[in-house]
Chains A and B, each alone.
Chain A
Amino acid sequence: MLELKGIYKWVNTGNHRTFLLKDVDMTVQAGEFISIMGPSGSGKSTLLNVIGMLDEFNEGEYIFMNESVHKLKEKQRSSLYKQYIGFVFQAYHLIDELTVYENIETPLIYQNIKTSERKAMVADILDRFQIVGKKDLFPTQLSGGQQQLVGIARALIANPKLLLADEPTGNLNSKQGEEIMNLFKQLNDEGMTIIQVTHSEKNAAYGSHIINLLDGMIQKN
């Protein structure tokens, strides 16, 4: 599904060049569930952002669904990830001013999907996640676990091929976290490719494959 070849990313501070990613090679097949692990500052989130095309890299090649990402223009990249990638965040990042329903609906709006179709799709996912009763509530009226559920629903609404999750359970208690991980597992079983960043060995174990990062480099085990 995607392939990273010799990816470098750095920032220049004064005369020094600090590497965030160093010679990262990585291949992800469709249907995999990959966990990226590593200590704070090891470059986990940066790698995830590069994969999600939210962040750029300085060197290397990135091929996503047979497209060379590094050669694409901003607009094409945007339409590529809009179509294929869903994001889940540690801090949920729901829009406070919108209800659950409207939050989930928002990505569809940006993909210019018709109102009637949107309604059906949102209704479907609300049903699937069993949060129909909460659809008119605002994010602040929900528990953390519920908010993350909405976040995942939102990430999935546009039927992405790849789900990227940045410490999805980091702000949740263990019970809520377990529920979310079970949901990921279930999604993966249904064929969804997932890449998650996590601190927790336990959560990493849900995945089919673990990548360890240290100082921006993938540790070979």
Chain B
Amino acid sequence: MFKNYFKTTIRNLRRNKGFAFINIAGLAVGMAAAILILLWAQNELSTDRFYKNESRIYEMYNRDKDAAGNKWAWPNTPKILATTLKNDYPEVEDAVRYNNVTFLLTQGEKHLNVQGAFADSGFLNVFDFPLKEGVSKQCLGSVYNIVLTEKLAKKFFGNENAIGKTVRIDSVHNCTVTAVLKDLPPNTQFNFEYLLPWSYMDKIGWSDSSWGNNSVFTYALLKPGVSQAAFDAKIKDITINHTKGSSYPSSTDVFTQPLSRAYLYSKSENGKLSDGPIKTVRLFLVIAVFILLIACINFMNLSTARSEKRAREVGIRKVLGAQRIKLIFQFIGESILFSLGSFLIALFIVKISLSGFNTLVNKELAINYSDPVFWLFAIAFVLISGILAGMYPAFFLSAFKPVKVLKGTFKKAEAAINPRKVLVVVQFTFAIVLIISTLIIQKQIQHTLDRDAGYNRNNLVYIFGQGDIDKNFTLIKNDLLKDGSVVSITRSSNPITRRWSDSWGFIWPGSTKQDEKTDFVRLGADADFVKTIGVKLIAGRDIDVYNYPTDSTAVLLNETAVKSMRLENPVGTIIKSADNNTEQWHVVGVVKDFILESPYQKDINPMIIFGPAGSSGYVLHLKLNPANSTASNLAKMEKVFKEYNPQYPFEYVFADESYARKFDDTRRTSKLSSLFAGLTIFISCLGLFALAAYSAENRLKEIGVRKVLGASVFSITSLMSKDFLKLVIISFAIASPIAWFAMHKWLDGYSYRIAIQWWIFALAGLISVLIASATIIFHVLRAAIANPVNSLRTE
């Protein structure tokens, strides 16, 4: 029986190549898109879920209230938390800390600035990243140990065994390689190429035991059977208890987040970890389902549109004794066969487009063909889309009454609401929602790009202070100014495009207890901050420790800080730390607000720019001389840095490039939504194209009669186009509120945002009507121009 069905299908395919192509191509493209999204979603959902003890690992979180009473949660914890948990709480099997760091690593003549991390000796027992060489036990056991990833080991030692060899850290200490890890999988949040023991951090004096310095990540491995709720209740007040009676008691709660949720639910909403990448994953899964559905709709539509051609076959088979159920199986089987063919083509499309998609989403996704789960999934995928696509045609086609179709009295039922039309409306609704969303996302990006950052990013570079830069800073500065490559330099505590530090607990004349909760972003400067960065000074003067020695304790405030501190005459105000009255700062100037963090954030946070006594000069900012070419400036700079800091490679970052990276995420969303919008439109148009063809064919006689009666080509064209464009307009009417609602929610995530304007909808409507018209015009015109004599003769 199957052979008989199979032959009918294949021969039918061969006879209707155009139909088959549109069906299979549409379904294949839809499936490929769905597969790509599913690969991505699978990667997201499996992030950090592969450790042996995953179910018992928890990330430690803090929770506190800001000055306005809003709760917020964050994962940076005091360094002392891990040791306290391990020593005082029997529920804890192990607690490990993790902190990223970038050191210059030297091996022979090879110098590399590489991101690594400090980790407790138990880190690799808690997170069992697979080893390539060495053993994980004790590999971070003593101060001068280092664990490399395969990639880094290869860079230093080629294919030689790295174990026992030494790597020089920051040109200060030699560390011995005790283990080599396989490269980290793509689905982990950890990002390091080497691990250094925590004791090394102690050794170089970076460690501290303050409960107030929240800087590192802490993970607790709880003993089997320990309940999270009970443990959370027990540790809630751990920070409060340890700071009770100190000069500045903390009000911060501590709680745990299971590792399984650590990535997906990493965004704090009023102190609850209920949001994060999971939202995007859900959104894209919905998109995947819809794209697949739209491709399946093509199948349903084309199959039922061709029903008149298949009706005779159905009638004959019924007369010959086929029961309806067998015909249903035949048609569903047929669509599963289509689905299988499409799936194979989809796999091919995925294969050739995966690298492009990986660049787009910034991941390393791959299909694991050797994984039986993949094949199980593939079978399910083929069956589900086959059944989904074939269900409606199967029931529709198999219901024909043989007497009617065989006597030639069969006419397609012109129901008031033709299911085929409903399906086209579903397709176009989705396509139009995506078009509107894409337009709004792009508008939002442009709007934010156009926003004045409040400083001048042109010709501004920053350089991380490594090695001897700090020691030779004055010499470097003088040489750079002298050779004309740079017009000004400022030493700051962090790059102008990033927030590294913030603190609260300040008092000033007139401040209240509540004000001590006001969180200030911290920045640092020695001199020429205003000139180099290009911010606007609106009161007082710039910090300048070289001309005013007391400026070491000077600060600049931004406008928002002045406002939230309610200062009438900010310049000259003395600011003190609430916990330490000896530390005090005097305000020398006020700068206009500028964007340090996200340009999508409407309200700039209050900021204090500290003089050198309150900040470390980690980062140099340099304004290149606009009179010279950038290349010659950089060449001169390189010479200077090589002279005073010979061990280290000359590395710099352009502020404008760094600023542009703030848009990476939204740009990615924009690109993805354009991609999916394009695909949806493509697939929908394939379907519309074929439907137009069938409609033209079915109405051949009607058109012939109309032409004989004197209808013009134009009137016939508009008559036929109207039918299709009506559907597009209905889709538009349905899509607009959906898109408005969805985009309203999306824009809610950005406090600096556009208002949704009506013309975007008008444009989207116009675009969809134009695309739909272009799709159907070929068949419509061909039908309209045809000589009626030919069409009438065939009847």
Judging by beta carbons under 8 Å apart, are B402 and A54 in contact? yes
Judging by beta carbons under 8 Å apart, are B313 and A95 in contact? yes
The answer, yes or no, to whether B4 is at the interface (CB within 8 Å) is: yes
Judging by beta carbons under 8 Å apart, are A110 and B316 in contact? no
Judging by beta carbons under 8 Å apart, are B8 and A95 in contact? yes
Residues of A contacting B15 in the complex (Cβ-Cβ under 8 angstroms): 96-97
The 0/1 profile, CB within 8 Å of B marked 1, for residues 105-120 of chain A is 1110111000000000
The answer, yes or no, to whether A192 is at the interface (CB within 8 Å) is: no
The residue on B at minimum CB distance from A83 is B321
The answer, yes or no, to whether A22 is at the interface (CB within 8 Å) is: no
What's the least CB distance linking B732 to chain A, in Å? Answer: 39
What's the least CB distance linking B481 to chain A, in Å? Answer: 86
Residues of B contacting A94 in the complex (Cβ-Cβ under 8 angstroms): 316
Residues of A contacting B402 in the complex (Cβ-Cβ under 8 angstroms): 54
Judging by beta carbons under 8 Å apart, are A87 and B323 in contact? no
The 0/1 profile, CB within 8 Å of B marked 1, for residues 61-97 of chain A is 0000000000000010010011000010101011111
What is the number of contacts between chain A and chain B, taking CB atoms within 8 Å?
59
- Docked Cα-Cα span, A98 to B15, in Å, equals 12
The answer, yes or no, to whether B403 is at the interface (CB within 8 Å) is: yes
Contacts A93-B315, A95-B316, A154-B320; A106 near B4 (Cβ below 8 A): yes
Residues of A contacting B315 in the complex (Cβ-Cβ under 8 angstroms): 93
Residues of A contacting B1 in the complex (Cβ-Cβ under 8 angstroms): 109-110
Judging by beta carbons under 8 Å apart, are B321 and A110 in contact? yes
The 0/1 profile, CB within 8 Å of A marked 1, for residues 1-41 of chain B is 10010011001100100000000000000000000000000
Judging by beta carbons under 8 Å apart, are B4 and A93 in contact? no
- Docked Cα-Cα span, A45 to B408, in Å, equals 13
The answer, yes or no, to whether B312 is at the interface (CB within 8 Å) is: yes
Residues of A contacting B407 in the complex (Cβ-Cβ under 8 angstroms): 45
The residue on A at minimum CB distance from B1 is A109
The answer, yes or no, to whether B184 is at the interface (CB within 8 Å) is: no
Residues of B299-326 contacting chain A, CB below 8 A: 312-313, 315-317, 319-323, 326
Judging by beta carbons under 8 Å apart, are B321 and A95 in contact? no
The answer, yes or no, to whether A179 is at the interface (CB within 8 Å) is: no
The residue on B at minimum CB distance from A112 is B1
Judging by beta carbons under 8 Å apart, are B8 and A54 in contact? no
Judging by beta carbons under 8 Å apart, are B12 and A97 in contact? yes
Judging by beta carbons under 8 Å apart, are A107 and B4 in contact? no
Judging by beta carbons under 8 Å apart, are B319 and A87 in contact? yes
Among A78, A87, A110: residue with most chain B CB under 10 A:
A110
What's the least CB distance linking B713 to chain A, in Å? Answer: 34
Contact of A82 among B8, B321, B403 (CB under 8 A): B321
The residue on A at minimum CB distance from B312 is A93
Residues of A contacting B7 in the complex (Cβ-Cβ under 8 angstroms): 97-98, 102
What's the least CB distance linking A45 to chain B, in Å? Answer: 7
Judging by beta carbons under 8 Å apart, are A89 and B4 in contact? no
The answer, yes or no, to whether B604 is at the interface (CB within 8 Å) is: no
Residues of B contacting A127 in the complex (Cβ-Cβ under 8 angstroms): none
Judging by beta carbons under 8 Å apart, are A49 and B4 in contact? no
Judging by beta carbons under 8 Å apart, are B320 and A54 in contact? no
Judging by beta carbons under 8 Å apart, are A49 and B403 in contact? yes
The answer, yes or no, to whether B345 is at the interface (CB within 8 Å) is: no
What's the least CB distance linking A86 to chain B, in Å? Answer: 9
The answer, yes or no, to whether B406 is at the interface (CB within 8 Å) is: yes
Judging by beta carbons under 8 Å apart, are B4 and A109 in contact? yes
Contacts A98-B4, A110-B326, A111-B321; A54 near B312 (Cβ below 8 A): no
Contacts A54-B402, A54-B403; A97 near B321 (Cβ below 8 A): no
What's the least CB distance linking B366 to chain A, in Å? Answer: 41
The residue on B at minimum CB distance from A157 is B320
- Docked Cα-Cα span, A98 to B7, in Å, equals 7
Residues of B contacting A49 in the complex (Cβ-Cβ under 8 angstroms): 403
- Docked Cα-Cα span, A82 to B402, in Å, equals 14
- Docked Cα-Cα span, A96 to B16, in Å, equals 13
Among B12, B15, B323, B403: residue with most chain A CB under 10 A:
B403
The answer, yes or no, to whether A55 is at the interface (CB within 8 Å) is: yes
The residue on A at minimum CB distance from B12 is A97
Judging by beta carbons under 8 Å apart, are A93 and B316 in contact? yes
- Docked Cα-Cα span, A81 to B320, in Å, equals 9
Contacts A78-B321, A93-B316; A102 near B406 (Cβ below 8 A): no
Residues of B contacting A154 in the complex (Cβ-Cβ under 8 angstroms): 320
Contact of B8 among A45, A87, A98 (CB under 8 A): A98
Residues of A contacting B12 in the complex (Cβ-Cβ under 8 angstroms): 97
Residues of B contacting A91 in the complex (Cβ-Cβ under 8 angstroms): 406, 408
What's the least CB distance linking B326 to chain A, in Å? Answer: 7
Judging by beta carbons under 8 Å apart, are B320 and A105 in contact? no
Residues of B contacting A81 in the complex (Cβ-Cβ under 8 angstroms): 321
Residues of A144-168 contacting chain B, CB below 8 A: 154, 158
Judging by beta carbons under 8 Å apart, are A75 and B323 in contact? yes
What's the least CB distance linking B408 to chain A, in Å? Answer: 8
- Docked Cα-Cα span, A97 to B406, in Å, equals 17
Residues of B contacting A105 in the complex (Cβ-Cβ under 8 angstroms): 4
- Docked Cα-Cα span, A154 to B316, in Å, equals 11
What's the least CB distance linking A93 to chain B, in Å? Answer: 5
- Docked Cα-Cα span, A158 to B322, in Å, equals 13
The 0/1 profile, CB within 8 Å of B marked 1, for residues 39-63 of chain A is 0000001000100101100000000
Judging by beta carbons under 8 Å apart, are A54 and B317 in contact? no
What's the least CB distance linking A31 to chain B, in Å? Answer: 24
- Docked Cα-Cα span, A148 to B202, in Å, equals 97
Residues of A contacting B319 in the complex (Cβ-Cβ under 8 angstroms): 52, 54, 87, 93
- Docked Cα-Cα span, A49 to B12, in Å, equals 29
What's the least CB distance linking A209 to chain B, in Å? Answer: 25
- Docked Cα-Cα span, A87 to B315, in Å, equals 12
Judging by beta carbons under 8 Å apart, are A55 and B403 in contact? yes
Residues of B374-407 contacting chain A, CB below 8 A: 402-403, 406-407
- Docked Cα-Cα span, A98 to B407, in Å, equals 21
- Docked Cα-Cα span, A105 to B315, in Å, equals 16
Among B12, B321, B322: residue with most chain A CB under 10 A:
B321
Contact of B406 among A75, A78, A89, A110 (CB under 8 A): A89
Known: A45-B407, A95-B316. 20 other contacts (CB 8 A): A52-B319, A54-B403, A75-B323, A81-B321, A87-B319, A87-B320, A93-B315, A93-B316, A94-B316, A96-B313, A97-B8, A98-B7, A105-B4, A106-B317, A106-B320, A110-B320, A110-B323, A110-B326, A154-B320, A158-B321
Across the A-B interface, the 8 shortest Cβ-Cβ residue pairs: A82-B321, A110-B321, A97-B11, A107-B320, A97-B8, A54-B403, A93-B316, A109-B1
Cβ contacts A to B, 25 pairs, < 8 Å = A45-B407, A54-B319, A55-B403, A78-B321, A81-B321, A82-B321, A89-B406, A93-B319, A93-B406, A95-B317, A96-B15, A97-B8, A97-B12, A97-B15, A97-B313, A98-B8, A98-B11, A102-B4, A106-B320, A110-B1, A110-B317, A110-B320, A110-B326, A111-B321, A158-B321
